[in-house]
Amino acid sequence: MQIALIGIGKIANYQMQAITHTPGIKLVDAHDLDPNKAEELPGSVQFHDDLEKLLKKSHADAFLVSTPTPTHFEVAMRVIESDRIAIVEKPLCTKQSEMDALMTAARTRKLPLYTAFHPAYGREVDWWREQREARNFDLGPLHGFDTCFADPYYLGGKLTLGAVGKAGAWTDSGASGLSALSRLIDAKTMKLVDGRMTVIPALGCAQVQGLGIYSFVQQGRTGFGMVDSNWTLGKNYKATRLRYENGIVELDHARELASLSMEGEEKLVFNLATNKPRLVNHYCGVFSDLTAMFSRGEDNTDLSEVLHRLLFAALSH
């Protein structure tokens, strides 16, 4: 599968590394508004200084949109309207009307549309999925969860450089939390109970903190959980706790750790990190999934639609 990259920013470096580690996928073209970014590309990749020329001339099978979050809708729509396949870094866009327009455009043209939910492919998430499938631990039914994705992007009353290119704490990090949960809980059963956003009008972002409270159904039982996103804590903290009847599973998304606590037993801790950066591991999962679905003529549009509706519902609550 041949890929063209649109946007050569910080996240693109991890994406390019992951492509080199993933069989069946190759980066062939790239575009950025800054021509100096061409220096960051491997020698085999052709740089294009104009997006329209890239879309017309590239022989890529799909185009990976890795531009700042507020531009995702515009760039993805240009790809789709050129009758090309778009792969869009999460979130797909920043509001419900944009998502509806992208979905309609792709379906009308019968084009796959893929959202790169990279936090869903954390090694700690994969680990717990494997343990459940193998039934290595009997924890009983899931009662609830709490997920927090926090970044130090608001310090001393100002946004830090880390916030550049992001839309807002909930828009960007809420999408991360929901996507990780989607590989642990059937997202189609989730419903919004309440949404709470903290907005500082003077700042150039949609929100500095966001919270979504959701219900879900698993094994015929209804449980509740919350997804918290926060730029004000002054630290990089990303974790999910799954509260089962007979124990608690904690997934540390920032450090690629997993732990299991069961009553009367010693806490078990598993270090799942590798010699590759965490985000490279994430994108290796994204691209492995992408190539498999591409070979079958599939995409993750249905899942993306469910997760974005849950995301945007909390914004408008």
Q: Once rounded to an integer, what is the mean pLDDT over residues 279-299?
A: 96
The confidence score (pLDDT) of residue 306 equals 98
User: How confident is the model at residue 219, as a pLDDT?
Assistant: 87
Average pLDDT on 86-113 reads 97
Mean pLDDT of 284-306: 96
- Concatenate the DSSP letters of all residues of 89-153 into one string: ESSS-SSHHHHHHHHHHHHHTT--EEEE-GGGG-HHHHHHHHHHHHT-S---SEEEEEEEEE---
Give yes or no for residue 316 having a pLDDT over 90: no
pLDDT confidence of residue 168: 97
Task: Express each pLDDT in 218-251 by its tens digit.
Answer: 989 999 999 999 999 999 999 999 999 999 999 9
Residue 263 pLDDT exceeds 90? no
Query: CB–CB of 21/276 below 8 Å?
Result: yes
Q: What is the mean predicted confidence (pLDDT) over 137-148?
A: 96
Q: Give the neighbor-by-neighbor strand order of the sheet with 26-31.
A: 46-48, 26-31, 2-6, 62-65, 85-89, 113-116
pLDDT at residue 44 above 90? yes
pLDDT tens digits, 149-177: 999 999 999 999 999 999 999 999 999 99
| Domains of the chain, earliest start first | 2-116 (3.40.50.720), 120-273 (3.30.360.10)
Residue 317 has pLDDT above 90, yes or no: no
pLDDT tens digits, 7-27: 999 999 999 999 999 999 999
As a whole number, the mean pLDDT across the chain is 96
DSSP result, 229-260: EESSSSS-EEEEEEEETTEEEEEETTTTEEEE
Six token digits for residue 11: 């996240």
Is residue 91 pLDDT above 90, yes or no?
Answer: yes
Does the pLDDT of residue 264 top 90, yes or no? no
Across 70-87, average pLDDT: 98
In this structure, how many other beta carbons lie within 10 angstroms of the beta carbon of residue 200? 14
